């Protein structure tokens, strides 16, 4: 073989090796891309499965678990007018009434800041606490959320009221979104140990709707409630109470009269 042929052969081998390296590099990049796509697809599939498991039969997310209340308490009772009272047997005054709507963000904020104080005062025998939920909002989806929440709260047994009440605030739908689905409302009751067979039909069939309407009329017409939350202490509206200390002081002053 001549020197020229030898040089040509070496060049050809080098070119072939470089071509093979280029093919291997392209193959590696292609495999990396495919692997990435497959990984993304698997991740999406996992998310879809998880989300699907968190949906009810109407496609809404079901993520919130019921919360069981275990703080200070006093006997809880239901009344014919739909109100729920919490207080010691022999305590009749002072009376603290709370008008609330489970769709109302300000009500949730009040519950977070003062709910524990109200219950502690009732548990200590220093007041009678009266819950008066009603249907304030009239535009959808707020209206439907408000009405379904109030209806379900009237369906739940008295011994589960405090826990269910707190769960509704924990799961409060963001304004402008639809929430408090029948599936959620029933699920939370079951999680809290409600076994009454009448509970689910009451929730799904909106069996307390008429009573919710009467409670709403009582709040807006009879008591002239302007919005939620609204508190009355012995019939007088509280407008300056904004802390545990100011609420406790107002209750003590009412008790001293």
More confident residue, 103 or 11: 103
Omega of the bond prior to 141 within 30 degrees of 0, cis? yes
The angle subtended at Cα 114 by Cα 182 and Cα 66, nearest 5°, is 30
pLDDT > 70 fraction of the chain, expressed in percent and rounded: 75
Which tens digits make up the pLDDT trace of 15-34? 555 544 544 555 445 444 43
Residue 161: how many other CB atoms lie within 10 Å = 21
Residues 6+ apart with CB under 8 A from 50: none
- Give Cα separations from 45 to 33, 40, 52, 61, 225 (angstroms): 18, 8, 10, 17, 50
Residue 76: the pLDDT is 97
pLDDT of residue 18: 57
The string of pLDDT tens digits covering residues 44-92 is 333 333 333 344 444 444 468 999 999 999 999 999 999 999 999 999 9
pLDDT at 2: 52
Mean of pLDDT values over 231-249: 95
How far apart, in whole angstroms, are the C-alpha atoms of residue 95 and residue 216? 20
Contact 169, 108 (CB under 8 A): yes
CB 161 within 8 A of CB 65: no
pLDDT band at 138 (very low <50, low <70, confident <90, very high): confident
Chain segment 42-56, per-residue pLDDT in tens? 333 333 333 333 444
DSSP E strands in the chain: the ranges are: 76-78, 84-86, 95-100, 128-133, 230-233, 236-238
Cβ atoms 87, 75 nearer than 8 A: yes
Contacts of residue 188, Cβ cutoff 8 Å, sequence gap at least 6: 64, 66, 164, 167, 168, 171
**pLDDT attached to residue 57:** 44
Instruction: Say which residue, 55 or 181, is predicted with more confidence.
Output: 181
User: How would you class 219 by CB atoms within 10 Å of its CB: exposed for 0-12, middle for 13-18, buried for 19 or more?
Assistant: buried
């Amino acid at each position: 073989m001549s020197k020229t042929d030898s040089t040509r052969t070496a060049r050809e081998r080098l070119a072939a090796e470089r071509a093979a390296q280029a093919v291997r590099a392209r193959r590696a990049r292609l495999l990396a891309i495919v692997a990435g796509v497959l990984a993304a697809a698997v991740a999406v599939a996992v998310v879809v499965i998880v989300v699907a498991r968190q949906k009810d039969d109407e496609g809404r997310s079901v993520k919130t678990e019921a919360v069981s209340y275990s703080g200070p308490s006093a006997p809880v009772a239901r009344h014919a007018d739909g109100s729920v009272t919490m207080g010691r047997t022999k305590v009749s005054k002072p009376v603290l009434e709370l008008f609330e709507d489970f769709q109302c963000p300000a009500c949730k904020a009040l519950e977070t800041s003062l709910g524990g104080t109200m219950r502690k005062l009732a548990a200590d025998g220093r007041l009678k606490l009266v819950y008066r939920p009603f249907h304030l909002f009239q535009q959808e989806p707020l209206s439907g959320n408000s009405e379904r929440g109030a209806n379900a709260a009237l369906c739940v047994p008295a011994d589960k009221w405090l826990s269910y009440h707190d769960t509704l605030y924990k799961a409060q739908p963001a304004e402008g979104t639809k929430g408090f689905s029948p599936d959620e409302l029933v699920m939370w009751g079951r999680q809290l140990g409600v076994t009454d067979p009448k509970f689910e039909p009451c929730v799904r069939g909106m069996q307390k709707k008429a009573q919710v309407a009467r409670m709403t009329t009582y709040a807006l017409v009879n008591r002239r409630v302007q919005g939620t939350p609204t508190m009355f202490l012995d019939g007088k509206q509280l407008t300056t109470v904004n802390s545990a200390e100011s609420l406790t002081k107002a209750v003590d002053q009412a008790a001293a009269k």
